[in-house]
């Protein structure tokens, strides 16, 4: 009798859902950024009016307590919110789905347990001097690398994993075979360079915003090419402004690449010429 060929079992790799590295790192980074001012606020609030303790003295303990607290809340978040939505059919009371908002709520809850008497006095929370103190303390912690970004990112990653239900961001979770295509062609977070050749690069979803913010700079570059030496720098600026003035439908700002911007410019120049003749 021959031995059966060993069956290695089904191939799982294709079936595993992976998270898009661009989408993922953006959220993680945002959350990691947010942890530092969050900690600063707690340290300021719990030492205000306290002659013996300074924010920097409590920071080590507060960091640990805060991380433990938000991590623990995040661990039970999905089961808690399921129970809650079962119990109350109330749509109004639904928890937010944005992981960033969810973690903000945990942080707020934590800091409200740490406020001392003065921290509870109304007005303090909204005061400018509180904001200033928080900003200063954030700077101090950044300078001393008290809680470096890469350390915060580790925590942010855990929190995100805990509060994001598997299927919620399905567009970000992809089969390995689809990932390359996603990252190159459809991911809204994929990094791209300015199509008009500025020095900036940004996530693809910000292209629209960049094009309208930097319209003048883009126009200037393009007009320089179209009109070669026909204009002085000042003349180009005036010409760009003139084009914008005649651009009633805002087509200039809507152009996302050199070719379409060139077309819009040529149409506008023809229109201006017609108008003036």
Question: C-alpha angle with apex 199: 198 to 200, nearest 5 degrees?
Answer: 95
Q: Work out whether 106 is an interface residue with Zn ion (CB under 5 A).
A: no
CB closer to Zn ion, 22 vs 100? 22
Q: How far apart are CA 127 and CA 81, in angstroms?
A: 33
Build a one-symbol-per-residue string for 12-31: x at contacts with Zn ion by CB under 5 A, - elsewhere: --------x-xx--------
Q: Work out whether 110 is an interface residue with Zn ion (CB under 5 A).
A: no
Whether 44 contacts 134, CB under 8 Å? yes
What's the min distance (Å) between Cβ of 203 and Zn ion? Answer: 10
Q: How many residues bind Zn ion (CB under 5 A)?
A: 8
Whether 23 contacts 172, CB under 8 Å? yes
Build a one-symbol-per-residue string for 178-217: x at contacts with Zn ion by CB under 5 A, - elsewhere: ---------x------x-x-x---------------x---
CB closer to Zn ion, 85 vs 260? 260
The dihedral sign for the CA sequence 198, 200, 201, 204: negative
Long-range contact pairs involving 123-132 (C-beta distance under 8 Å, separation at least 24)? 124/48, 130/44, 130/45, 130/48
CB closer to Zn ion, 149 vs 198? 198
What's the min distance (Å) between Cβ of 218 and Zn ion? Answer: 5
- The distance from CA 247 to its chain's CA centroid, rounded to whole angstroms, is 32
Interface ranges with Zn ion (CB under 5 A) = 20, 22-23, 187, 194, 196, 198, 214
């Amino acid at each position: 009798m021959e031995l059966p060929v060993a069956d290695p079992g089904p191939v799982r790799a294709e079936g595993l859902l992976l998270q898009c590295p661009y989408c993922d790192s953006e959220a993680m980074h945002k959350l990691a950024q947010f942890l530092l001012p969050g900690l600063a606020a707690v340290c300021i609030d719990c030492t205000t009016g306290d002659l013996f303790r300074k924010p920097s003295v409590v920071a080590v303990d507060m960091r640990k307590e805060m991380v433990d607290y938000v991590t623990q809340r995040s661990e039970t978040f999905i089961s808690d919110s399921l129970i809650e939505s079962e119990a109350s059919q109330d749509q109004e009371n639904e928890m937010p789905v944005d992981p960033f908002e969810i973690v903000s709520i945990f942080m707020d809850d934590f800091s409200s347990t740490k406020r001392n008497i003065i921290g509870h006095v109304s007005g303090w929370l909204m005061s400018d001097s509180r904001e200033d103190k928080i900003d200063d303390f954030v700077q101090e912690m950044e300078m001393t690398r008290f809680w470096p970004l890469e350390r915060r990112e580790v925590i942010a990653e855990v929190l995100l994993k805990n509060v994001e239900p598997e299927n919620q961001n399905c567009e970000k979770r992809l089969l390995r075979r689809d990932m390359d295509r996603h990252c190159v062609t459809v991911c809204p977070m994929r990094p791209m360079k300015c199509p008009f050749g500025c020095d900036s690069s940004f996530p693809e979803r910000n292209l629209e915003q960049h094009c309208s913010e930097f319209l003048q700079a883009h126009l200037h570059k393009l007009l320089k090419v179209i009109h070669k030496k026909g204009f002085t720098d000042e003349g180009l600026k005036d010409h760009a402004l003139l084009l914008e003035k005649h651009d009633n439908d805002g087509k200039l700002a809507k152009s996302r690449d050199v070719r379409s911007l060139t077309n819009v410019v040529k149409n506008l120049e023809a229109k201006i010429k017609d108008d003036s003749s």
